[in-house]
């Protein structure tokens, strides 16, 4: 018979802990959707740093600082794994924080780059300015397939468009065409969403991108990698999954309003402040 001690230990065991998923805003929902599809038995804690979105035009020091603050908080919430559902953090902070935290941490770039390198020879990457400047995709794709040609375009206007719910606005189509035209001119065969916000814009891209061009959403590959990692570590959830918990640093009502269009139910969103979370380096305000 199970005594109270065994039951308490089991309740706090790693298997039933949540997977932490984070992004600067609603972009990580494209990864959450993949978790619902590929890992429906898992419970998730989602954090969107909406008070500080966008990350993609910030310095590497700031991005590392924000990523550390989020991970500190997630560790305190006892997540069993963290998925950095943000390419910008993955490009600029993943390697550093992996060495700092005793937690499996997955980033989106390597899984996305490997998928692209498998399918494409002429690969276009659209991403935030910080991700493009890091050349993280360029290096990862070239390593996976030295014969692949890669072109990158920074699209700073896309994240504000998605966060402010302007996807269907008439000017968005024109902005998207202007960003993607240089890649279409290169006759790309593959287009990588190098920012997790961008799959939300797919209805816009579909209006003018030729159907022969393959879209690569790194969310698919990162969740497949997470599934493998959970299995290897023996920490898959074997009990009933809990409803996803949503937290943001900005306005919960705005997040709820925007996120509801992509989620099966209207999310209950709470606000937290990460500014008091202890971190190892000061912000670079220069």
Residue 86 engages ligand DGL in binding (rule: CB under 6 A): yes
Question: With 0-12 CB in 10 A as exposed, 13-18 as middle and 19+ as buried, what is 160?
Answer: middle
Restricted to residues 147-166, the positions that interact with ligand DGL (CB under 6 A) are 159
Is 195 one of the annotated active-site residues of the chain?
yes
Cα–Cα distances in angstroms (integers) from residue 233 to residues 34, 60, 80, 172, 236, in the given order: 20, 31, 10, 43, 8
Q: What are the tokens at 277? A: 């979370």
Q: Given 21, 44, 132, 195, which residue is catalytic?
A: 195
Size of the site for ligand DGL (CB under 6 A): 16
Place of tokens 């305190």: 76
Burial environment of residue 130 by CB neighbours within 10 A (0 to 12, 13 to 18, 19 or more) = buried
List Cβ neighbours of 238 (8 Å cut-off, separation of 6 or more): 15, 41
Q: Which position among 85, 86, 97, 180 bears the catalytic label?
A: 86
Q: Given candidates 33, 43, 69, 131, which one binds ligand DGL under the rule CB under 6 A? A: 131
242 Cβ neighbours under 8 A, 6+ residues apart = 18, 43
Q: Residue 30, interface with ligand DGL (CB under 6 A)?
A: no
Q: Which stretch binds ligand DGL (CB under 6 A): 21-29, 134-142, 145-153, 267-275?
A: 21-29
d(CA 62, CA 48): 16
CB nearer to ligand DGL: give 27 or 120.
Answer: 27
User: Contacting ligand DGL (CB under 6 A), which of 17, 18, 20, 24?
Assistant: 24
**Residue 34 binding ligand DGL, by CB under 6 A:** no
SS3 88: helix
Kindly state the smallest distance separating residue 267's Cβ from ligand DGL, in Å.
Answer: 18
Q: Is 249 in the site for ligand DGL (CB under 6 A)?
A: no
Nearer to ligand DGL, 15 or 157 (CB): 157
Chain positions 37 to 56 lying near ligand DGL, rule: CB under 6 A, are: 53-56
Which positions lie near ligand DGL, rule CB under 6 A? 23-24, 27, 53-56, 86-88, 128, 131, 159, 195-197
């Amino acid at each position: 018979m199970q005594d109270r001690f065994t039951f308490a230990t089991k309740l706090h065991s790693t298997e039933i802990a949540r997977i932490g998923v984070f992004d600067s805003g609603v972009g990580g929902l494209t990864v959450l959707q993949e978790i619902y599809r590929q890992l429906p038995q898992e419970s998730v804690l989602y954090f969107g740093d909406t008070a500080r979105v966008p990350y993609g035009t910030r310095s590497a020091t700031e991005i590392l600082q924000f990523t550390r603050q989020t991970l500190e908080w997630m560790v305190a919430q006892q997540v069993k794994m963290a998925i950095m559902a943000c390419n910008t953090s993955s490009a600029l902070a993943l390697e550093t924080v992996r060495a700092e935290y005793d937690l499996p941490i997955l980033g989106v770039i390597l899984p996305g780059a490997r998928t692209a390198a498998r399918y494409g020879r002429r690969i276009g990457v659209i991403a935030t300015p910080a991700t493009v400047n890091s050349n993280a995709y360029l290096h990862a794709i070239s390593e996976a397939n030295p014969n692949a040609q890669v072109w990158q375009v920074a699209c700073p206007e896309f994240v504000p468009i998605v966060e402010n719910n302007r996807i269907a606005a008439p000017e968005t189509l024109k902005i998207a065409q202007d960003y993607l035209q240089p890649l279409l001119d290169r006759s790309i065969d593959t287009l990588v969403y190098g920012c997790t916000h961008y799959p939300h814009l797919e209805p816009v891209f579909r209006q003018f991108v030729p159907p022969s061009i393959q879209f690569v959403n790194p969310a698919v590959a990162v969740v497949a990698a997470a599934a493998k990692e959970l299995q290897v570590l023996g920490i898959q959830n074997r009990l009933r999954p809990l409803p996803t918990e949503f937290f943001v640093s900005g306005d919960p009502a705005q997040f709820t309003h925007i996120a509801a269009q992509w989620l099966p139910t209207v999310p209950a969103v709470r606000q937290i402040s990460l500014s008091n979370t202890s971190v190892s380096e000061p912000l670079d305000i220069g």
